[in-house]
Structure 1
Amino acid sequence: MPLGEQPAYLRVAADLRRKIVSGELPPHARLPSQARIRRLYGVSDTVALEARKVLMAEGLVEGRSGSGTYVRARPEPHRLVRTGYRGLGDVTPFRQEQADESVDGSWDSRSAQERAGADVAARLQLAAGEPVMRTRYVFRSAGEPVLLSTSWEPLALTGRTPVLLPEEGPLAGRGVVERMAAIDVVVDNVVEEVGTRPGLAEEAQALGAVPGQPVLCIQRTFYASGRAVETADVIVPADRYRVSYHLPVR
């Protein structure tokens, strides 16, 4: 193959992608079969199969068991607004993680005690194996799952206090800052790191997405005088959201 020339499967995938983006192959249209791709482009079965795999990995098409491969509907990306916490009584971080506050958002949660793994322990400045409270959330907008979040809090800090369970008790759902203030812990800053990775199978199932489709992972940690008091992973489908930061200039 001459230097700079694309492999055949990428050339086929590029032409099919062009047809999808232009609307020539609209959402829910059936992608040409492997045999038809082979005839249309004069390529082997292997090349046709690899081209389809590329489009599936990009989230442009999806396979339906016993039916074929179809063009996926491409949702209009929403803004996921991230702003600084402005004080007690403000919206909770969980409400902030709804893409649009005018939308009727809801969530399910489940908390359980566990031993901190190496990654979570490092983020919370703990020794591996120390007890933490893990809470898993599924956030919904208009009844549809839109994002996932898993948070961890050190039981050395919250154990035997009214805020042991983030979604139960007198401050249920009030957010990290207000809950910590109730036990005389003053949260003074938060750090967020944003990265991308392929979505895990269980994440895709929860979000109604395609396994392996890219997701945004927002790794968030709250601090009080340099001490980490909560850390969380927020998982967002990359094709549905654009993260928008609104930060004050001091």
Structure 2
Amino acid sequence: MGHDEPPQHQVVANDLRRRITNGEWEVGAKLPSRARLATEYRVGANVLQKAQERLIIEGLLEGRAGSGTYVAAPRERRRMVRARHREQRGGSPFRGDMAEIGRSGTWEAHSEARTPAPDGIALRLGIDTGELCVRTEYEFLADNQPAQLSVSWEPMSITGETPIVLPEMGPLAGLGVVERMRSIGMEVTTCVEVPRPSRASQAQANLLGIGLGDPVLVIERTYYTGEGRAVETADITVPDARWEVAYEFGIDA
């Protein structure tokens, strides 16, 4: 194979994509076994597997444990509305967002306490570089499918000696930043969001089920008290192929 030729698995993926697009297999149809397709394309089983995995990431195929590989239903691109009232409903804003469009919102989270704030995060939080924070990684799911990612930072100078030091543990676990901070006397009054287009890293692609370099929207969000003190900042990553983000603003009379 020459240096300018694509790898075998990409060639096979391209041809399978063509056959699916041309309707050789309908939505919901089961593809022939990997062994049969590998023989048809005259490639090894590992090459065929990589080709199908590429199409699963793209959403053209879906694997069913113990059953085989099927043509997936086209993904619909849903609208994710970020509005002022999302912080006024109580409970998790994400769960409320999903409920409004008829989906079940869940998440998985992992927190690390006593994590030094890097330069950019420290600047956003108005603290010194290296000041200790709780860093939490989130994987948000809509109907058990990846919807968005988030990396959150909270200064331990605010939460360190309180029951809410870990966002997903304790009496207010999972209730959102606004309610948690209110419980320790920090009244959040402002949320600032800065959306920026980006491309998925390999780690983000793996978690979101998209391809390396696929378009994503990264939302830099920071919560402030009425005195202007930042209590939390986060980077929220939304896959562009599945979600469009809309902002809703109330108009004061």
Query: What TM-score results when the alignment is normalised by the length of structure 1?
Result: 0.70
SS at match of 1:184: coil
Deviation, structure 1 residue 93: 2.5
Q: What RMSD in Å do the two structures reach over aligned CA positions?
A: 2.9
* Structure 1, gaps ≥5 residues long: 1-15, 29-62
Deviation, structure 1 residue 146: 1.4
Aligned length: 198
Q: What residue number does 2:178 align with?
A: 177
Which of residues 205, 210, 231 is equivalent to 1:229? 231
- What does residue range 8-157 of structure 1 map to in structure 2 within 5 Å? 65=50, 73=60, 75-85=75-85, 90-96=90-96, 98=98, 100-113=100-113, 114-157=115-158
What CA distance in whole angstroms lies between the structure 2 residues aligned with 1:27 and 1:84?
A: 45
Deviation, structure 1 residue 244: 1.4
Which of residues 238, 244, 251 is equivalent to 1:249? 251
What CA distance in whole angstroms lies between the structure 1 residues aligned with 2:24 and 2:138?
A: 34
Q: State the one-letter code of the partner of 2:251.
A: V
Are the structure 2 counterparts of residues 98 and 152 from structure 1 closer, same or farther at C-alpha, using a change threshold of 3 Å?
A: farther
SS at match of 1:80: strand
- Does structure 1 conserve the Cα–Cα contact (< 8 Å) formed by 2:118 and 2:130? yes
What CA distance in whole angstroms lies between the structure 1 residues aligned with 2:53 and 2:174?
A: 44
- Does structure 2 conserve the Cα–Cα contact (< 8 Å) formed by 1:198 and 1:215? yes
* Structure 2, gaps ≥5 residues long: 1-13, 27-47, 61-73
Q: What residue number does 2:192 align with?
A: 191
Q: What does the per-residue CA deviation read over 1:136-174, in whole Å, with 9 as the maximum and x for residues that have no partner?
A: 111112221111111110000111101111111111111
Q: What does the per-residue CA deviation read over 1:17-71, in whole Å, with 9 as the maximum and x for residues that have no partner?
A: xx98xx658999xxxxxxxxxxxxxxxxxxxxxxxxxxxxxxxxxx963679868
- Does structure 2 conserve the Cα–Cα contact (< 8 Å) formed by 1:83 and 1:247? yes
Deviation, structure 1 residue 85: 4.0
- Does structure 1 conserve the Cα–Cα contact (< 8 Å) formed by 2:99 and 2:105? no
